[in-house]
């Protein structure tokens, strides 16, 4: 089949499009500008997204998604033949005329071909995108922002590009979650969200990406000194890390909760959408290189993101969205599996993160009032 290029005169436009990006939270969010670009070009088309349960929550607040297909069990580390077969059947029943695959996995790129979607455009990294009718060349060692890599698919389709910021819009239910959690804080400002988790995805855990919990506690102590409200965030598996952070001697939890620095613990108590709604109420956010950090950027909250073994060029906040604080290493690991055992994250000091956070708090709360920098320690 000849390469697919959108006819600007409108001679061809898809009626039904499926985006196949099952995982993970941050990567799915980074693909939302691509979706926004396609929706603007083809407003009359239906757009469905094949996504796994782990990342499904970040698509519940997507205004450009019409429906979701279950892609649980279709990514490396949790592959299940039955799940793959069910997804293929779902795509066949959907009668899609275009599949968009912003993914480097050979299995994920194979799925639309097996589902007989006639036009398929996706990333081709190391030849793994061979099933696609339009292959967008990409090499894993290229140091480019992931959101720009995904937008190459829009470029290949001749589609004008949307703003390259991930997007999440909390629903009324998400906002209700946030209001219930934050009711005790009142109007206290500044308000800063601290996310102590991350590094765990289906089939893979990389705790080397996590900034030590005790340093979050020390950072919270400094926020208490200036009278800032602190919102602790994390998943159900992060409660022990949050407890260690809050128990840090420097913080002095009991005194802070009774004085001028209120706080609330949201670890394990919120959905992804509820987490996004909470972060949207905050003046700043601090977390490691994790999906929730991308979620903070997606709701427009200025973010300080701490990097250890992973690449801030690929995954850090863009200019105007926040600050990446990075360890002093020559170059990041090209493959996450090579990052196992890395101690780079431990090089990032509380002083460095505090300076970055002060920059955001003093420069304004909106993402347009900050500038992305990379601060070596």
Domain boundary assignment for the chain: 16-156, 172-376
| Common-topology check for domains 16-156 and 172-376 | yes
Decide yes or no: CATH 3.40.50.2000 for domain 16-156. yes
The widest CA-to-CA distance across the chain, in whole angstroms, is 68
Report the alpha-carbon distance of residue 57 to residue 51 in Å, rounded. 10
Q: What percent of the chain has pLDDT over 90?
A: 66
Does the structure show a pLDDT above 90 at 8? no
What kind of fold does domain 172-376 have according to CATH?
A: Rossmann fold (3.40.50)
**The pLDDT value given to residue 344:** 84
Does the structure show a pLDDT above 80 at 259? no
> CA end-to-end span of the chain, whole Å?
52
Q: Report pTM.
A: 0.88
Residues 256 and 205 sit within 8 Å (Cβ to Cβ): no
Does the structure show a pLDDT above 80 at 246? yes
Q: Spell 217-240 as b/e; 16+ CB within 10 A means b.
A: bbbbbbbbeeebbbbbbbbeebbe
Q: Which residues contact 176 (CB under 8 A, 6 or more apart)?
A: none
Higher pLDDT pick, 306 / 75: 306
Tell me the pLDDT band of 370, cut-offs 50, 70 and 90.
very low
Lowest average pLDDT, out of 94-103, 133-142, 199-208, 278-287, goes to 199-208
Does the structure show a pLDDT above 70 at 88? yes
């Amino acid at each position: 089949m000849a390469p697919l290029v959108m006819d600007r005169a409108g001679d061809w436009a898809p009626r039904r499009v499926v985006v196949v990006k099952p995982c993970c939270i941050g990567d799915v969010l980074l693909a939302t500008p691509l979706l926004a670009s396609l929706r603007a070009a083809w407003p009359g088309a239906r757009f469905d997204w094949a996504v796994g349960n782990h990342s499904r929550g970040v698509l519940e607040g997507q205004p450009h998604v019409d429906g979701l297909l279950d892609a649980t069990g279709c990514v490396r580390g949790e592959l299940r033949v039955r799940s793959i077969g069910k997804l293929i059947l779902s795509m066949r029943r959907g009668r899609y005329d275009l599949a968009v695959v912003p993914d480097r996995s050979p299995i994920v790129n194979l799925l639309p071909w097996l589902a007989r979607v006639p036009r398929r455009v996706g990333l081709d990294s190391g030849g793994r995108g061979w099933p696609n009718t339009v292959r967008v060349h990409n090499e894993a060692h290229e140091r480019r922002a992931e959101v720009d890599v995904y937008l190459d698919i829009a470029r290949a389709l001749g589609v004008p590009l949307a703003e390259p910021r991930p997007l999440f819009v909390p629903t009324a239910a998400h906002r209700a979650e946030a209001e219930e959690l934050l009711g005790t804080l009142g109007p206290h400002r500044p308000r800063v969200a601290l996310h102590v988790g991350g590094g765990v995805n289906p089939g893979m855990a990389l705790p080397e990406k996590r900034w030590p919990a005790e340093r979050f506690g020390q950072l919270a102590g400094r926020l208490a000194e200036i009278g800032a409200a602190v919102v602790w965030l994390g998943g159900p598996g992060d409660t022990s890390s949050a407890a260690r952070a809050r128990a840090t001697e420097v913080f002095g939890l009991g005194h802070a909760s009774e004085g001028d620095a209120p706080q609330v613990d949201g670890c394990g108590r919120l959905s992804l959408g509820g987490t996004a709604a909470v972060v949207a109420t905050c003046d700043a956010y601090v977390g490691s290189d994790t999906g929730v950090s991308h979620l903070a950027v997606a709701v427009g909250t200025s973010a300080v993101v701490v990097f250890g073994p992973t690449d801030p060029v690929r995954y850090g906040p863009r200019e105007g969205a926040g600050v990446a604080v990075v360890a002093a290493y020559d170059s990041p690991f090209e493959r996450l599996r090579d990052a196992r055992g890395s101690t780079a994250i431990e090089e990032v000091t509380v002083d460095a993160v505090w300076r970055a956070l002060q920059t955001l708090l003093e420069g304004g709360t909106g993402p347009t009032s900050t500038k992305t920098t990379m601060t070596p320690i």
